[in-house]
Structure 1
Amino acid sequence: MNIDFKKLADKYQTPYYVYDFDYISNQYNELKTAFKARKSLIAYAVKANSNLSVIKHLANLGAGADCVSIGEVKRALKVGIPSYKIIFSGVGKIDDEIRTALELDILMINVESAAELDRVELIAKELGKVARISIRVNPNIDPQTHPYISTGLHENKFGVDIDTAKRMYIQCNNSENLEPVGIHCHIGSQLTQLEPIKESVKIVADLVKNLKAIKIELSFMDVGGGLGIIYNEEKLIDTNEYAQAILETMFGLDITVVCEPGRFIVGNAGTFITKVLYEKINGEKRFVIVDGAMNDLIRPSLYNAYHKIEVLNDNKELSLCNLVGPVCESGDFFAKDVELPKTKHNDLVAIYSAGAYCFTMASNYNTRGRVAEIAVQNGVDKLIRKRETFEDIIALEEEFIN
């Protein structure tokens, strides 16, 4: 990433997020090429980074969208992703979301429970429509990742077991208002081991073959996303080996493979830039206090997640410190006991691997406006989201003041 963070700080102030759109293109194309031997759809997981310009950039590359709210579906449509490339997932869809998804005629609704399938069938009947359905199968495979981002075990809330899935497919096949078109599995995020992926996809492929034997033919096999990225020297899964492992399970099946990368595409494209306000010493404890906070980037506080941190100065003298923000919470930190150089007021600090699940999880806690987002492509920077003002934050409240 060859980006002049200081120049952007002078132009847009801090804190800010910056995204390398050339990197995003490379990641998308790498994955698309890996699946070139078969019909495929790379459906970007919008929840990772839902900025309209990010989604538009991926739409221009040919991506579809995996969405977990009707708001994300509308974001994808707004920037030009065609409805036939949009999947609506999530364990808790409300009736209005289901109704809207059916009216928008998206590719398929990814159903995660028998009760949800009943609701979709009822709503489709009320609308006089046929709902294209995919069912999320829970293969009960340990993804060997952080428990908060594990999704493929019975203890997780996602998907249904194999037997329940079979019954649901039969219900779809016998219904006038349901059309079974796909199957889905996703065992977790930040996956760095190939074997759990191979095991889970094989289970799903075997189910597809069993369904075919009883005349239920599916068109799409959605293998989820979850490919890991480097935060801290992780050994990653080779994309060609990943694709080959999946394609081997589909031998003999005329089916389109769907992949839902989010973090893999945008995670390492993003950097969060904040500036030093001052340092303080409490007893023997050193604190570096910056203008960014947990409301801007909550992953360290929420997951105890590691992000590589770099102070952008020439000081070589390192010592342990906590890098913290101004929010009135003990959990407001970016790193604890991290070695950083001595800093001075207005030094910039770069927090890397911040393109996924960072801005999208930001909040207005402590009445702090969400920060600016910037894109850089071919060396040219562009503002893609304005910094929120106080007036933006209170806009939905002030008319009700008595």
Structure 2
Amino acid sequence: MTAIIEQTKEKYGIENWGAGYFSINRKGHLVVHPSENDPYGADLKEIIDDLKKRGIHPPILLRFPQLIVSQIRRLQRAFKNSIKEYEYEGRHLCVYPMKVNQNRAVVEEYLREGSKYDFGLEAGSKAELYAALAMEQSDESLLVLNGFKDEEFIQLAFTGARVGKRVVIVIEKLSELETTLKLANELKRKNPAAPLPMLGIRVKLYSKGSGKWEKSGGEAAKFGLTTTEILEVIKRLSDADRTDMLRLLHFHIGSQLTDIKRIKSAMREAARVYAKIRQMGLPIEYLDVGGGMAVDYDGSKTSFESSANYNAQEFANDVIYLIKNICDDENVPHPTIIQESGRYMTAYHAMLIVNVQDEIETVVEDFTSPVVVTEDDPEVIKELYDLRESINAKNYQEYYHDALENREELFTMFNLGLISLEDRGKGEVLFWDICERADYFAQKKKYVSEEFDELRRLLCAKYLANFSVFRSVPDNWALEQLFPIVPIHKLNKRPTEYATLCDITCDSDGIIEKFVDLHDVKRVLELHELEKGEPYYLGIMLIGAYQEVMGNNHNLFGFPHEAHIHIDEEGYIIKKVLHGSTLSEMLVQAKYDVPSLQETFRRNVERRVKDGEISQKEANELIELYERKASSYTYLLPNCQVGKL
């Protein structure tokens, strides 16, 4: 590998956040590998070029199901090692929370691999449960039901038990228990031999999580039963002679848990609750430790909210060790540990490839602005001119501060009517020239102050990328969650531009201006200069968890095109292509009747023919165009003729 490629890997942190799944080839293209450090890989630029030949243009969601398989194996291997090392007497199982990504291809790929280890599913709504009931699971896997439930939800759960599913209804509130007991009694009266679903209880732990979802845990959490409520559940089950149904204890202290100390605290508390309930004579055999196993999005391996200060093996070691020690101390059997780490299993497998459509210039482009200053110009203009001509590596900070003061004076004088619009324009050009020169000198220093970091952000270009933040990375907009963003080509060339990203929605929030960095959050991203006639592609990585299912239809931008890729020793195979949303599909979602729109448009055009405003031939062309565009992609057509807006 060339020195430039090695520098590029470090610049974008590919080896830090990539978990061994990503590399750069000699062409300078980003490569995806099916497993950690696998010698085989797929060139992302070649995949996009191949799809373009089929008429599929960015934005494109690329799905690599093999990475789901690899993450499952990595997780299973970690717990297998821990169970052996600590002589744990229970099992480790997973259930995949469908809310993380309900996409059929994702769930089916998870089950194909997970069923080998008796991994099951978790559903939190009636729709998810309905789908799960038809999914093929192994005989020993669980179907865990979380969330708030009405009688219809619980009836579906009973249906699952009747057809052989190992269903666990997790009680979130006491009314759910009453409904479950009522339905159990009704079923047993009709058919005493009918199997019943198992019951679980969700405990509201005192321990809290860490990171953006910290409020999911603790005493003020939305879900879970207090100690008093748990004791009431046990009493009611005992009164109903149904204690044999209670088989699982569940807790969840939040998603993307960044700090292993918080996880260990929760494990200790939950294991103690399990042991005490077991000592009461109840047949609980499963301890569901919930989800929250974090993905290291920025690669820093810290407790920062977009990272994690632990890996899969450390997580498994702590879970197994702590639960075993407490169970041994309390003299109760080791439970089967259930884990709901959907983010960890799915985040890596999907990425969005976007084309940069244009560049939006925000300030004067270079230092040589054609500004002519004369003796007749206002004094403030002369001072700005002198600052621009005299700024250097020794005085840039002082002169930058002087320029800020002069700009304030410039605007004040304009608002008072003391200078002309031309004077204001001339002053602005001079000011931004000074800023660019100050930035040039500041960036050469070993340490760049926060003040000049902010200046760099103001001066940077805005690259207009063909996607919707609200549709494809909603957590970036709503929670400032960081996702790695990297060019998928030109990685053998040094980036020369600093930019932030703007999406194509008509919304000022449709921007990405914080980027992953090993030591901090970057305010700008190093990118390559746009070349006319040449496409420039960026990959928004690690978006396989939550993003596509939580994205919205802002501006009626729909789902992007989607391609499923399989990697083997010969390269890659495009297994499936799903076309993105069309204009008509999005309009239907917004409750428009497309044929009615077309008929109204036709009448309006024909009225103008009647009034003599357009010819019949032109009318026919307009109507045909309007109707044809209903099947168009909601995103922009590729624009390789990149220029300034």
**TM-score under structure 2 normalisation?**
0.57
Secondary structure of the 2:513 match is: strand
Whether the 8 Å CA contact 1:192–1:228 is kept in 2: the answer is: yes
State the partner residue of 1:310.
Answer: 486
Classify 1:44/1:149 alpha carbon distance in 2 versus 1 (closer, same or farther; 3 Å).
farther
State the partner residue of 1:387.
Answer: 580
Whether the 8 Å CA contact 2:564–2:574 is kept in 1: the answer is: yes
- Report the Cα offset of residue 400 of structure 1: 10
State the partner residue of 2:104.
Answer: 52
- Report the Cα offset of residue 398 of structure 1: 5.6
Whether the 8 Å CA contact 1:300–1:333 is kept in 2: the answer is: no
Whether the 8 Å CA contact 1:225–1:262 is kept in 2: the answer is: yes
Q: 2:562 aligns with which of 351, 373, 383?
A: 373
Please say which of residues 311-320 and 131-140 is displaced more in the overlay. Answer: 311-320
State the partner residue of 1:349.
Answer: 538
Secondary structure of the 1:326 match is: coil
Larger radius of gyration, structure 1 or 2? 2
Letter in 2 for 1:338: V
Please say which of residues 301-310 and 341-350 is displaced more in the overlay. Answer: 341-350
State the partner residue of 1:288.
Answer: 463
Secondary structure of the 1:376 match is: strand
State the partner residue of 1:113.
Answer: 173
Whether the 8 Å CA contact 2:208–2:214 is kept in 1: the answer is: no
Question: Within 2, Cα distance between the matches of 1:170 and 1:374?
Answer: 53
Letter in 2 for 1:87: V
Question: Within 1, Cα distance between the matches of 2:474 and 2:77?
Answer: 33
- Report the Cα offset of residue 376 of structure 1: 2.4
Please say which of residues 373-382 and 131-140 is displaced more in the overlay. Answer: 373-382
1:154 partnered with 2:251 = no
State the partner residue of 2:342.
Answer: 262
- Report the Cα offset of residue 125 of structure 1: 4.6
Please say which of residues 305-314 and 288-297 is displaced more in the overlay. Answer: 305-314
Please say which of residues 202-211 and 240-249 is displaced more in the overlay. Answer: 240-249
State the partner residue of 2:280.
Answer: 214
Question: Within 2, Cα distance between the matches of 1:52 and 1:393?
Answer: 21
Secondary structure of the 1:282 match is: coil
Question: Within 2, Cα distance between the matches of 1:219 and 1:26?
Answer: 29
* Structure with higher helix content: 2
Whether the 8 Å CA contact 1:55–1:76 is kept in 2: the answer is: no
Q: 1:88 aligns with which of 145, 156, 166?
A: 145
Question: Within 2, Cα distance between the matches of 1:5 and 1:135?
Answer: 46
Q: Where in structure 2 are the equivalents of 1:21-60 lying within 5 Å?
A: 21-36=65-80, 37=83, 38-60=90-112
Whether the 8 Å CA contact 1:19–1:269 is kept in 2: the answer is: yes
Please say which of residues 285-294 and 112-121 is displaced more in the overlay. Answer: 112-121
State the partner residue of 2:123.
Answer: 67
Question: Within 2, Cα distance between the matches of 1:339 and 1:297?
Answer: 17
Question: Within 2, Cα distance between the matches of 1:112 and 1:247?
Answer: 26
- Report the Cα offset of residue 338 of structure 1: 1.9
Cα deviation 1:329-367 (Å, max 9, x = unaligned): 222123343223233573111111111111111222222
Classify 1:78/1:380 alpha carbon distance in 2 versus 1 (closer, same or farther; 3 Å).
farther
Whether the 8 Å CA contact 1:120–1:131 is kept in 2: the answer is: no
Whether the 8 Å CA contact 2:129–2:156 is kept in 1: the answer is: no
Secondary structure of the 2:300 match is: coil
State the partner residue of 1:185.
Answer: 251
Secondary structure of the 1:35 match is: helix
Question: Within 1, Cα distance between the matches of 2:155 and 2:463?
Answer: 50
Cα deviation 1:210-252 (Å, max 9, x = unaligned): 1122211202110112111121123242323322322231444
Q: 1:9 aligns with which of 25, 48, 57?
A: 48
State the partner residue of 1:339.
Answer: 525
Classify 1:115/1:351 alpha carbon distance in 2 versus 1 (closer, same or farther; 3 Å).
same
State the partner residue of 2:375.
Answer: none
State the partner residue of 1:271.
Answer: 351
State the partner residue of 2:617.
Answer: none
Classify 1:59/1:69 alpha carbon distance in 2 versus 1 (closer, same or farther; 3 Å).
same
Whether the 8 Å CA contact 1:190–1:227 is kept in 2: the answer is: yes
Whether the 8 Å CA contact 1:113–1:159 is kept in 2: the answer is: yes
1:297 partnered with 2:473 = yes
Question: Within 2, Cα distance between the matches of 1:229 and 1:58?
Answer: 18
Identity %: 21
Question: Within 1, Cα distance between the matches of 2:184 and 2:202?
Answer: 19
> Where does structure 2 lack aligned partners over 5 or more consecutive residues?
1-21, 23-31, 33-41, 84-89, 189-193, 302-308, 364-458, 515-522, 597-645
Secondary structure of the 1:322 match is: strand
- Report the Cα offset of residue 56 of structure 1: 1.1
Whether the 8 Å CA contact 1:229–1:267 is kept in 2: the answer is: yes
Question: Within 2, Cα distance between the matches of 1:312 and 1:131?
Answer: 49
Please say which of residues 194-203 and 247-256 is displaced more in the overlay. Answer: 247-256
Question: Within 1, Cα distance between the matches of 2:234 and 2:257?
Answer: 29
Question: Within 1, Cα distance between the matches of 2:563 and 2:214?
Answer: 27
> Where does structure 1 lack aligned partners over 5 or more consecutive residues?
none
Whether the 8 Å CA contact 1:88–1:109 is kept in 2: the answer is: yes
Q: 1:253 aligns with which of 333, 337, 341?
A: 333
Please say which of residues 301-310 and 176-185 is displaced more in the overlay. Answer: 176-185
Whether the 8 Å CA contact 1:273–1:350 is kept in 2: the answer is: yes
Whether the 8 Å CA contact 1:223–1:259 is kept in 2: the answer is: yes
Question: Within 1, Cα distance between the matches of 2:151 and 2:362?
Answer: 53
- Report the Cα offset of residue 308 of structure 1: 1.3
Question: Within 2, Cα distance between the matches of 1:169 and 1:329?
Answer: 52
